[in-house]
Structure 1
Amino acid sequence: MHKSSFIEYLQIEKNASSLTVIHYTTDIDEFQDFLCAQQITIQSCEYSDIRIFLAQLHERQLSRRSVSRKVSSLRSYYRFLEREDIVGHNPFTFVSLPKADHPIPEFFYEEELRELFTVSDLSDPLGQRNQAIIELLYGTGIRVSECTNIEVSDIDFSLSTLLVHGKGNKERYVPFGDFARQALIRYMEEGRQHLERKSSSRVSSIFLNAKGGPLTARGIRLILNKMVEKTALTVNIKPHKLRHSFATHLLDAGADLRSVQELLGHDQLASTQIYTHVTKDRLRNVYMNSHPRANK
């Protein structure tokens, strides 16, 4: 009962994404199983009980990121229960979040990317679509979920901007360059019209599959993998790797962190700062390999 009210609160008041709701639901269910095993109620749970719960999480060797998410989820849950006068206190108030691991994001070097932009058959409707996808993903840094949500009306060719529907239904405008513009125009004037005729109903999504229906995130991943297979690259490609490359290359070229944050749609600057580690490592490598007095 309490959980369903909280989930409704997340969806309606907080406008949380479906993935966020799934994570909260999983974390709450797991915590309720713990309370049941300890024979305590959500109202009688104390800080000492939370320490036992955290110890069990560590015994399972969960990452610090996973533990942090669970603590954050349950703290928010108790905050909601306090607001609704269901509990008298929040036992997670004094629980400190473990410092999360921040792995350096993988990215493509510019020379690796160049080959990817040459493999599509631009005389074929699907090749035109694939070229537009990779140009847009790398040219704007949007997430693959945001890419699948793009509608024809979201693109403004006069200003070369794209209206992006991000996490939590947050919207932002992102510019795109000449390469993405040319690829999009070719696809929309030729390839998309060809694919659209294969569908029995009108589809507003800009990227269509071979049957004329909306392209899914899984479909985009398959497309990118097939593109890599046509190259000499031996690396794995994920849509997010193009997003990481977008941010890294901008910072390498001198873009300021705040602008990159806005382009990526990050709420917190800390989410964008992870890319500065990449650029620092790259600068050090350039220095060590290039400066005459760097190495003996």
Structure 2
Amino acid sequence: MAKRPTKLELLQKAGPPPKSNRATETVCNEFLDYLRSECHLAANTIAAYGRDMRRFATWLGTGSLNQISISDLSSYIGELHEAELAPASIARNVVAVRTFFKYLQLEGIVQSNPAELIVTQKMWQRIPGVLSTRQVDMFLSSPRKADVYWQRDVAMLEVLYATGCRASEVCSIRVRDMSLSEKFLKCEGKGGKQRVVPIGSQAIAAITRYCEELRGKLAEKSPHPPEELFLSRSGRALDRIQLWRLVKFYAKRVGIDPSISPHSLRHSFATHLLAGGADLRLVQEMLGHASIQTTQIYTHVEHSRLKKVHQAFHPRA
């Protein structure tokens, strides 16, 4: 028996909202401008909120923002579940709607805020997978000299694991952001916040080889001298989607779980540091987390490490 489409799916297939809902579209666009100019959120976050608000406006249709109740919003969240969105996407949609209604209150567009009563999902239940150190070694050595851009790919994978940077942060690293002699580089995280992260000798060697043997050739293909470190075959900055595809390609080559992503390497970076005895707050600083609670959610210590600590320090171990 065919699955009955939800109201949300039917509205999405029907195309853009009718003209009578143009006012809601305008308010949503003004909300995104507010996030960009006043809250200084990162471009990727703005883009994600933009998708969430288009989805919400489509669901609302010709309805009025002033007449939305907590029951209506609960139905909206329910339809997100029925549409089989990932838990992370649903949680972000909830945050977007809650933030949107706070903005509406500030602007005097609505008097009450039913979105305050929406509860976000417990994201700590969805911890991404971690590669073992053996898998990391296999993965980092997966590019072969027969690959056209193997020097770049080795350097890129090394930097991902060596720094724990997000995919967008790795793509935006500029040549002038590096100080290889001092063993650190500067990256720009969420909200335009910059931080300095240390980098190891193997990653430095890979970057040096890439810059000496390949980057100059790629840069010559661009009409304008590129500032970014990692370049595509056209000489432009490598983007997140290209990086994501390369990670998937090399994981498949060495038989690692196909669900691996650049985020998995970031998580492995943090987990391996903690398993080796690193201080949680130092890991927080390297990851660029504003809150220590985020780091606690994001990382988990291997059971073997916990057992060793218990055996070493508990009086009745």
TM-score normalised to structure 1 length: 0.82
On the 8 A contact 2:275/2:302 being kept in 1, the answer is: no
Counterpart secondary structure, 2:215: helix
Indicate conservation of the 8 Å contact 1:125/1:187, yes or no: no
- Which digits, 9 at most, give the CA deviation of each residue in 1:214-267, with x for residues without a partner? 222233234334444554x34334222221211111011011211111111222
Post-superposition Cα deviations, 1:162-216, rounded to whole Å, max 9, x if no partner, equal 1101122221111101111111122222322233334443111111223433222
Report the AA paired with residue 5 of structure 1: E
Name the CA distance, whole Å, in 2 between partners of 1:285 and 1:51. Answer: 43
Instruction: Give distance in 1, aligned partners of 2:227 and 2:173.
Output: 8
Q: Distance in 2 between matches of 1:113 and 1:66?
A: 28
CA spacing shift, 1:82–1:137, aligned 2, 3 Å: same
CA distance in 1: counterparts of 2:185 and 2:125, whole angstroms:
30
How much does 1:90 deviate? Answer: 1.2
Structure 2: how far apart are the matches of 1:67 and 1:45? 19
**CA contact 2:52–2:96 (8 Å) conserved in 1:** yes
Task: Determine what percentage of the aligned residue pairs are the same residue.
Answer: 34
**CA 35–209 in structure 1, closer or farther in 2 if over 3 Å, else same:** closer
Write the distance in 1 (CA, Å) between the matches of 2:140 and 2:83: 44
Q: Does 1:135 pair with 2:137?
A: no
**Deviation digits for residues 143-168 of structure 1 (CA, Å, limit 9, x no counterpart):** 12111111111101232111101122
Aligned position for 1:235: 257
d(CA) in 2 for partners of 1:34, 1:239? 32
Question: Aligned residue for 2:176?
Answer: 153
Instruction: Give the SS at the match of 1:163.
Output: strand
Greater Cα shift, 196-205 or 176-185: 196-205
Q: Which residue of 1 aligns with 2:294?
A: 271
Unaligned ranges ≥5, structure 1: 288-296
* Number of equivalences: 283
C-alpha change, 1:240 and 1:45, in structure 2 (3 Å) is closer
Which of 10, 13, 20 is 2:45 aligned to?
20
2:113 equivalent in structure 1: 90
Whether the 8 Å CA contact 1:208–1:215 is kept in 2: the answer is yes
Q: 1:23 to 1:221 in 2, by over 3 A?
A: closer
- Structure 1 residue aligned with 2:244: 221
Give 5+ residue unaligned stretches, structure 2: 1-25, 310-317
